Amino acid sequence: MVLNGATGAAAQEISYAQAAVRAVRREMAMDERVVVLGEDVGRGGIFGQYSGLQGEFGPQRVIDTPISEAAIMGAGVGMALAGMRPVIEMRVVDFALCGMDEIVNQAAKNRFMFGGQGRVPLVARMPGGIWDASAAQHSQSLEAWFAHLPGVVVVCPSTPQDNHSLLRAAMQCGDPVIYIEHKTLWGSTGPVDETLSLPLGKAAVRRQGKALTLVSWSRQALICEQACATLATEGVDVELIDLRTIWPWDREQVLASCAKTGHLLVVHEAVQAGGFGAEIAATAAEATGCRVRRLGAPRIPVGYAPVLEAQSRIGVDAIASAVRSMVG
């Protein structure tokens, strides 16, 4: 049950990937400054998130690049400073690490260092999260790295509707946006209303409740929704908040919920140590005095073997057990 950001009669059932394609197509049609660049974008991207766009807009606007993340990101920053609005494809967040200097020292800092004379309105798409059977170098959740970086917006959509509306909002933003779609959500489907606009920085209340506030984002928010359904059969009404945007995050919505329930559990797929859940928990505890707890992955690389990979996942049972322990 989505209580804000709900779709209406105009919604169509499409996939997470299709929602992204339609968002990029719409912005490219409306604004000729929008271009796409990255590896494999001409053939639609490895997840189909650019399917058909090069045929529609040509190779001058959907640009295939060499295999160099530093070159791709550097070119994107230059384009943005020259007045264009590039969508930069990093394939997965793990590969984006090869372009970190351009992200951290150039894109994020230009507006500040030059007194606003330069703006870097780019969207860096870098799918994150555990990728089934893809092992440690292809299964990282690094959103906290970018939340820690002044000068960028960080978005982690969980549904096809959010992926459409928030990607459009990101392309319209005047600052660099780190856009982290989950690697395993591309084939997931849901209703998408292409006329629905969503602002960056506004969370979605997926379920209302009074017993405890549960905060999550990206694919983990969907796992939390399953846990909430299980708990509801036991008479435990949990309020589930999907942040959607990690920075800026919706403090007002989260703190109001924590003040109401007196309990906060933050769940994320990323490693718990140093994860963004700690920021949310500390802020809520300071502001409301609520009881807080975090659930995240252990501080280990994600294993290739299914039994090892499972150790890094936070499942329904673990979430439900944590809620029960907090509310008695």
Find the helix or strand (DSSP H, E) in which 247 lies. Answer: strand 245-247
Q: Which of 162, 192, 222 is the last residue of a domain?
A: 192
Query: Does 18 fall in a domain?
Result: yes
Query: Does 304 fall in a domain?
Result: yes
Candidate list 138, 164, 263, 268, residue with the active-site label: 138
Query: Does 106 fall in a domain?
Result: yes
**Together in a domain, 106 and 178:** yes
Reported as a pLDDT band with limits 50, 70 and 90, residue 1 is very low
What are the structure tokens assigned to 124, written together? 């860096």
Query: Does 2 fall in a domain?
Result: no
Query: Does residue 62 surpass a pLDDT of 80?
Result: yes
Q: Which of 148, 168, 192 is the last residue of a domain?
A: 192
Alpha helices in the chain (DSSP H): 16-30, 53-57, 69-81, 93-96, 100-101, 110-113, 143-147, 160-172, 218-232, 251-261, 277-288, 306-309, 316-327
Residue 45's CATH number: 3.40.50.970
pLDDT in tens, 4-29: 555 566 899 999 999 999 999 999 99
Q: What is the pLDDT of residue 8?
A: 65
When pLDDT is averaged across residues 165-191 and rounded to a whole number, the result is 97
β-pairing, 153-155 with 291-297? unpaired
**Together in a domain, 86 and 225:** no
**Together in a domain, 215 and 156:** no
User: How many domains does the chain fold into?
Assistant: 2
**Together in a domain, 107 and 244:** no
Query: Does 199 fall in a domain?
Result: no
Query: Does 54 fall in a domain?
Result: yes
pLDDT in tens, 99-155: 999 999 999 999 999 999 989 999 999 999 999 999 999 999 999 999 999 999 999
Query: Does 84 fall in a domain?
Result: yes
pLDDT in tens, 155-175: 999 999 999 999 999 999 999
**Together in a domain, 95 and 22:** yes
**Together in a domain, 220 and 186:** no
**Together in a domain, 172 and 277:** no
Query: Does 48 fall in a domain?
Result: yes
Q: Is 138 a catalytic residue?
A: yes
Q: Under 8 Å CB-to-CB from 224, ≥6 apart: which residues?
A: 214, 216, 240, 267, 319
**Together in a domain, 42 and 148:** yes
Q: Which of 192, 219, 253 is the last residue of a domain?
A: 192
Q: What strands lie across the sheet with 85-89, from one edge to the other? A: 62-64, 34-38, 85-89, 123-125, 177-179, 153-155, 245-247
CA atoms within 13 A on the CB side of 293: 17
**Together in a domain, 246 and 223:** yes
- Residue 285: give the domain boundaries: 204-327
**Together in a domain, 181 and 211:** no
